[in-house]
Structure 1
Amino acid sequence: MRIASIMTKRVVTVQMDDTLRSINAIFCSAKFNHLLVLEDGELVGIISDRDLLKATSPFLGTAAERPQDASRWERKAHQIMTRDLITTHPHASIKDAVELLLRNSISCLPVLTEEGHVEGIVTWKDLIRTYMGLQGEATLECCNCGTIL
């Protein structure tokens, strides 16, 4: 089985100078955990929801919020993104993708064409969902919102 058959083709991208405020709004409105960062149409980084969490203050929106906490929202994507990307291609095997994720302790792989254009993304959830399907197991639904996990 190949990555092309399980990858998510709908990816959301941001630009290098997008603010953390706008990135947070994207994460809040969508049900995914990774944003790809593009510059002139080329993939240059990735931001996970965990990256955003680490870059913001736990005091935001609380009575303890300080001016310096709120100013963190104005930081830019390029200031928190991961630059050393590990990617895969649509024709890679699922086994190869699993090995890359485990060897590098990462949670997703951007999927690029031979020309380097973003074609999709594959996450550990995609791989587990595929494994469950191959085992004949039913898919799991989130108990809170019914989202297929």
Structure 2
Amino acid sequence: MSATMLLRDIMTTAVVTVAPDATLAAIREIFDKARFHHVIVLDDDQVVGIVSDRDMFKSLSPFLRTAAEQSRDRATLHRRVHQIMTRHVVTASPEADVRAAARLMVRHSIRALPILGADGALEGIVSWKDIMRLIVEDDEPAANSASAA
């Protein structure tokens, strides 16, 4: 990565949010239709949790959408987001350095960082893929010149 790059330069501002009482069926539909892997849980416009597609899949019955599906399997779709969300959300500022954010993600073993403004309002999200994309794009000129040699 060249020069200091800030999270505001790479964050996604189109963030999918849900309420704590949303059902797993609702977030499954979001994950099925969108290319997002995380939804932010907001209560009164404050970040109170985060749910990844992995969290959701671990909470749903593995028999859903199979021939073995039963009513108890479908019942897992009625669980609420607040029952499975990560409550202690690690966040960052849009002014934070990308390298510092990457270290934070590694230290906490997380795959996404909600980005909060000075007022605590959700402004965006940065995922590990955003950081990897930045590294790969930054390396492309070097890779192209190395392959031409």
C-alpha root-mean-square deviation of aligned residues, in Å?
Answer: 1.2
Q: Displacement of 1:96 after TM fit?
A: 0.5
For 2:86 and 2:42, locate their aligned partners in 1 and report how far apart those are by CA, in whole Å: 12
Kindly indicate whether residue 108 of structure 2 is the aligned counterpart of residue 104 of structure 1.
Answer: yes
**Per-residue CA shift, 1:69-90, capped at 9, x if unaligned?**
1101011110110001100000
When normalised by structure 2's length, the TM-score is 0.90
Q: Which runs of 5+ in 2 are unaligned?
A: 142-149
CA distance in 1, matches of 2:125, 2:8: 9
Per-residue CA distance 1:1-60 (angstroms, 9 max, x = gap):
100000111100000111111110011000010000000111100000000000001101
**How far 1:61 moved relative to its partner?**
1.4
For 1:67 and 1:133, how far apart are their aligned partners in 2? 48
1:114 aligns with 2:118: yes
Identity of aligned residues (%): 47
Q: CA deviation at 1:68?
A: 1.0
Q: Confirm whether residue 12 of structure 1 aligns to residue 12 of structure 2.
A: no
| Alignment match of 1:34 (pick from 35, 38, 53) | 38
How do residues 66-105 of structure 1 correspond to structure 2 at under 5 angstroms?
Answer: 66-105=70-109
Helix, strand or coil: the match of 1:135? Answer: helix
Measure the CA separation in 1 of the matches of 2:112 and 2:19: 19
Deviation readout 1:90-121 (Å, 9 max, x if unpaired): 00001101100111111010000011100000
In 2: Cα distance, 1:66 partner to 1:136 partner: 50
Provide the TM-score with structure 1 as the length reference: 0.90
**Which of the residues 130, 135, 141 maps onto 1:131?**
135
Distance 1:77 1:96 in 2: 30
Partner of 1:48: 52
Aligned pairs, number? 138
Secondary structure (helix, strand or coil) at the match of 1:120 reads strand
Residue 133 of structure 1 aligns to which amino acid in structure 2? E
The residue type equivalent to 1:47 in the other structure is: V
Secondary structure in structure 2 of the residue aligned to 1:91 = coil
